[in-house]
Amino acid sequence: MVTMAIAKQTLEDMLRRKILLILLIVAVGMIALGPSVGFLSPRESSVVLKSLGLAVILIAGLLITILAGIQVIPTEIERRTIYTVLSKPVQRFEFVLGKFLGGLATVFVMIAAMGIVFLGVIYWQQHNLPREMVTGVAMTFFQMMLLGAMAIFFSTFATPVVNFFLTFAIFMVGNMSSVTESLTSNKNPATKLLATVLHYILPNFGNFNIQNKLIHPEQTLSNPSVFIFQNIVYAIIYSAILLLLAILVFDRREV
């Protein structure tokens, strides 16, 4: 109950932040203007609309997740409201989990809003709702869940500025998981070791980017249901590990 109360308060605080609302409005506007690309053929227009929509949701979700994740704990410390919270019968692990769930709820609301507009535009243009596009939006959410857990972990010991660049950098490297995987068989021992460490320790965000396979039918996935399920489980387990580390670090931190 305590954790959910903290999560609810965090969600309400985040939804009042103007920067997050501006990002949401801009993203929704870009998605809604997708069908205005009228000089293309119907098939090209459809591909552009799907590519643009998923890309906008990913970029906006990335910024919203990082901005929310890097602030939830440091803001409480700066305002000294954390002393009031921890002076009550609230355990530190409940505080961290509540902040994470509140940030995750914020990301869910934002991605859901963008996803509804995106899927509505597709339905309006094509008079059908491809299941693959729903999958694409859902995979973006789980990718952001993993990213949010990482931002929460770094927020327990890093400043918001350092956290922003660190989380963003790891996200970019993690999106090159296919590259690091190919380098694990490199003949150079140093390159092989570095690629192996990066591939197996850092989150493989690249596994969630299935947009090309969703948009272009010729690029089919073998056992797509299994692939999607594995990525969801991966995101949940990795997020749980990051949250456990965040709790351990925060529990030993003097605030």
| Residue 159 pLDDT exceeds 50 | yes
Buried b (16+ CB within 10 A) or exposed e, 208-243: bbbbebbbeeeeeeeeeeeebeebbebbeebbeebb
| Helix intervals (H) in 72-221 | 72-78, 81-86, 92-126, 131-155, 160-174, 177-183, 189-201, 211-215
- Token pair, residue 74, equals 């440091």
Identify the residue with better confidence: 23 or 211: 23
- The per-residue pLDDT for 187 is 72
- The per-residue pLDDT for 221 is 58
- The per-residue pLDDT for 216 is 46
Contacts of 218 (CB under 8 A, 6+ apart): none
Angle between helices 224-251 and 131-155 (to 10 degrees): 20
State the residue range of the domain holding 16: 2-251
Task: Collapse the DSSP code of 93 into the 3-class scheme (helix H, G, I; strand E, B; otherwise coil) and give the result.
Answer: helix
Structural domain count, the chain: 1
- The per-residue pLDDT for 116 is 94
- C-alpha to C-alpha distance for 188 and 183, rounded to whole angstroms: 9
- The per-residue pLDDT for 215 is 46
How many C-beta atoms lie closer than 10 Å to residue 44's C-beta?
A: 11
Mean pLDDT of 168-174: 90
Q: State the DSSP string of 147-184.
A: HHHHHHHHHTTS-HHHHHHHHHHHHHHHTTHHHHHHHT
Please tell me the least confidently modeled range out of 74-83, 112-121, 228-237.
Answer: 74-83
Confidence category of residue 237, pLDDT binned at 50, 70, 90: very high
